[in-house]
Homo-oligomer: A and B are copies of this chain.
Amino acid sequence: MHNKPNHRTTQQRMVILEELKKVKTHPAADEIYKMVRKRLPRISLGTVYRNLEVLSGLKKIQEVDIVENLKRFDGNPENHYHIRCMKCGRIDDAPFGLENDLEKKMRPLTDYTIISHRLEFIGICPGCSSKDK
């Protein structure tokens, strides 16, 4: 049995969090690195990655895509929804019709020209939940 690590509030970790909270964009690690380096010129990219992971774990921030860094392909070219297992990464089609109202509701709220939307459910697949026991 392992205890959770006791996370420390290092200067690097604080600055990364502060800089990320400051912007309304959704920067990738490299951009965050550049932002943080203005205040901590000697910080390393590895530290940025490690802290982003820690901060996500602490729910202080989140990753925009849960997606592991792999392109995945679907033999069905029609828009449809997916459900993804958070334990094993398995992806199934969601037995769920398209919610076309979503785009209609969104249009008046944004300056973007809406073209499409994606909906993904996140859960635990039958295989993984039986393993939990």
Contact = CB atoms under 8 A, between A and B. Distances in A.
One complex includes copies of this chain to the number of 2
Interface of A: 17, 20-29, 32, 52, 56, 59-67, 69-77, 82-83, 85-86, 90-96, 99, 102-103, 105-106, 109-126, 129
Given A109-B95, A110-B83, A120-B117, A71 B77 contact: no
Contacts of A56: 73
- Main secondary structure, interface of A, reads mixed
A29 B73 CA distance: 8
A72 to B, nearest CB: 4
B121 A29 contact: no
Contacts of A122: 114-118
